[in-house]
Structure 1
Amino acid sequence: MTAEKKYPHTLQFLAKLVLWILLYVSFWYFQDFYKEHRFLDNASNALNLFLTASIIYSIGRYVMITLYNKRHENRAVRGNFVLGINRLTAVMNTSTAVISVMLAFGIDPREFVTSLTIVAMAIAVTFREYITNMLSGLFIMFNDQLSVGDRVKIGDYKGRIVDITFSSLLIQDEEDDIVLVPNNLVFTSPMVNFSAHRSSLFSVRFELPLQTAVEVDKLEGRIQKTLLNHPYLTGDDDLALKVVEIGKDYVKYKMEMHATSSSSKLHRQLENEILREVLLFKREYDSER
């Protein structure tokens, strides 16, 4: 966790701690005042409950994250443990806040929950999708199958994960649009994580008109000349074009190679160099016709 992200949490914890101490001091010095004002007494007790619970949650959060980071300090970790703990802490703080508001207005939370028992089944059915999405989100957060920053394909959606919430994955697609993919889709649709096992092998695919197939050897030679002794390639590949599919008026090609790094940025740079040669070849071919 960076210093920028830790700083707000530290300020929030200190603010809650100072307010909690001031509240307890007021209990000692203004007991009669609270007894005379029933609503303020309920409100102060409710605030005390929220602050006490929130401080305990914050301490527990800090201890768990510290122990987790200490345990994994010597190896790379892809999981979302810290993200999951932060989300779970937020949920517990919200739940405690709701209970505190009830107490401030003199409502017994136990009686309130009991009164909802009759409609609990209807509520569960109504919010079934959200509940299952939330459970799926928790499962994703506390395992290493997916992580923020991974490049994935889930069903028909492909892109980079920018955030994981209780309801959905936020995926930035190739058009830089943010797509909200329900968490349930991760477990009900085919899913590919391109970042799970980072590899230096990658492929470049493109499509050309069928009539250019007779001169594709020239394109292959140009690409090979461009990539010969390339500083970002291992030099272990023959760099031959492979036909993937032949359509009515097009041919799809693929070229596989090994880069010196598994960096997605480097792979895109090499892909752009190859596609630039493809465009030049297509332009020259069209101008000769």
Structure 2
Amino acid sequence: MAMVEERKHRTVLKFLGKLVLWIMLSTSFWYFEEYYKAHRLINNASSALNLFLTASILYSIGRYIMITLYKKRNEHKSVRGNFVLGINRLTAVLNTSTAIIAIMLALGIDPREFVTSLTIVAMAIAVTFREYITNMLSGLFIMFNDQLSVGDRVKIGGYQGRIVDITFSSLLIQDEEDDIVMVPNNLVFTAPMVNFSAHRSSLFYVRFELPLQTAVEVDQLEARIQKTLINHPYLTGDDDLHLKVVEIGKDYVKYKMDMHATSSSNKLHRQLENEILKEVLQFKREYDLDQ
């Protein structure tokens, strides 16, 4: 929560900084008109900067209005989409495009003539980067609908895990081995996909690691966890709640437990995970005292 507030604070400060700079620059055009006319390079650079600041401020205002209206409209609904993420990404693209145009103007290049002269090159670039362009369009479509959302547990083709980010080129999925897999956005529409988090009963898992010597007592830990979770109000009761050995190392054993919660809420998953890990820590503490 503190990070969110800090991010909002930085966004407001950045907007105010751009607004103050734009006001000062716009005012200078009135008071130093003759100076700008006498110094062409400075005039071009100032005009380009003014264009970028004007567009960026308008983008920020439009972004704020659209997000506010969206949140107001859906304040009493359970929203799973990525509308805010999509707006933020789109604003970044618009700012970048405007910055490129502003740099051209500062250098005395007419963007229209530049684009016209590069028509053939642009066609070649479009063919070369066809996959990236289609991925970007697919990414925009994903961001502005509610099929997928950051935090969802999904299976796309042969990849399975939790979505940690959505970019223009790919979905970043954290798999069961805690590796980050970049899945091209196009795969969402060309391969079989299952969104486990789209349902009321949501699958999630808890992973932890214990020293190898505790493996002989792991049945006690399993019984303790089952006692904690049996008839838990936030679990569906459809799971056997058995610990599964994921990996055995030189001096450690990795375990995993799968279960279905009654909600796809990440907050609820973290709460349940915390309850289990507390039992694991208590078990480890008691084991160490007995040794």
2:79 corresponds in structure 1 to 77
CA deviations on 1:97-124 (whole Å, 9 max, x unpaired) are 0000000010000000101112222111
Q: Is the 8 A contact 1:200 1:258 kept in 2?
A: yes
AA matched with 2:102: S
Query: Aligned runs of 1:21-170 on 2, under 5 Å?
Result: 21-170=23-172
2:253 corresponds in structure 1 to none
Comparing 114-123 and 52-61, the one that deviates more: 114-123
TM-superposed CA distance for 1:95, in Å, is 0.3
Q: Is the 8 A contact 1:162 1:170 kept in 2?
A: yes
Tell me how large the CA RMSD over aligned residues is.
3.4
- Aligned with 1:170: secondary structure? strand
Alpha-carbon distance in structure 2 between the residues aligned to 1:113 and 1:139:
27
Percent identical residues:
73
AA matched with 1:8: R
- Aligned with 2:172: secondary structure? strand
Alpha-carbon distance in structure 1 between the residues aligned to 2:239 and 2:18:
64
Q: Is the 8 A contact 2:81 2:144 kept in 1?
A: yes
1:281 corresponds in structure 2 to none
TM-superposed CA distance for 1:3, in Å, is 2.1
CA deviations on 1:175-208 (whole Å, 9 max, x unpaired) are 222111111111111111111113168899xxxx
**Alpha carbons of structure 1 residues 146 and 259: separation in structure 2 relative to 1, 3 Å:** closer
Q: TM-score, normalised by structure 2?
A: 0.73
AA matched with 2:69: L
- Aligned with 1:195: secondary structure? helix
**Alpha carbons of structure 1 residues 227 and 122: separation in structure 2 relative to 1, 3 Å:** same
**Alpha carbons of structure 1 residues 66 and 228: separation in structure 2 relative to 1, 3 Å:** closer
Alpha-carbon distance in structure 2 between the residues aligned to 1:51 and 1:190:
44
CA deviations on 1:8-35 (whole Å, 9 max, x unpaired) are 2111110110000000111111111111
Q: Is the 8 A contact 2:200 2:262 kept in 1?
A: no
AA matched with 2:90: L
Query: Aligned runs of 1:218-257 on 2, under 5 Å?
Result: 230-232=230-232
**1:174 paired residue among 154, 173, 176:** 176
AA matched with 1:143: N
Alpha-carbon distance in structure 1 between the residues aligned to 2:110 and 2:59:
23
Unaligned runs of 5+ in 1: 205-218, 242-255, 273-289
Tell me the number of residue pairs that the alignment of Structure 1 and Structure 2 aligns.
244
Alpha-carbon distance in structure 2 between the residues aligned to 1:105 and 1:57:
24
AA matched with 2:95: N
Alpha-carbon distance in structure 2 between the residues aligned to 1:89 and 1:64:
12
AA matched with 1:63: I
TM-superposed CA distance for 1:259, in Å, is 5.9
**Alpha carbons of structure 1 residues 70 and 132: separation in structure 2 relative to 1, 3 Å:** same
TM-superposed CA distance for 1:230, in Å, is 2.3
Q: Is the 8 A contact 1:202 1:267 kept in 2?
A: no
TM-superposed CA distance for 1:151, in Å, is 0.9
**Alpha carbons of structure 1 residues 192 and 33: separation in structure 2 relative to 1, 3 Å:** same
Alpha-carbon distance in structure 2 between the residues aligned to 1:145 and 1:111:
41
Q: Is the 8 A contact 1:201 1:257 kept in 2?
A: yes
- Aligned with 2:150: secondary structure? coil
Alpha-carbon distance in structure 2 between the residues aligned to 1:105 and 1:63:
34
- Aligned with 1:102: secondary structure? helix
Alpha-carbon distance in structure 1 between the residues aligned to 2:75 and 2:166:
23
Q: Is the 8 A contact 1:232 1:260 kept in 2?
A: no
TM-superposed CA distance for 1:231, in Å, is 3.9
- Aligned with 2:162: secondary structure? strand
AA matched with 1:144: D
Q: Is the 8 A contact 1:203 1:257 kept in 2?
A: yes
Q: TM-score, normalised by structure 1?
A: 0.74
**Alpha carbons of structure 1 residues 228 and 104: separation in structure 2 relative to 1, 3 Å:** closer
CA deviations on 1:264-289 (whole Å, 9 max, x unpaired) are 457768999xxxxxxxxxxxxxxxxx
Alpha-carbon distance in structure 1 between the residues aligned to 2:55 and 2:274:
51
Alpha-carbon distance in structure 2 between the residues aligned to 1:257 and 1:179:
23
Alpha-carbon distance in structure 2 between the residues aligned to 1:268 and 1:229:
11
Comparing 162-171 and 113-122, the one that deviates more: 113-122
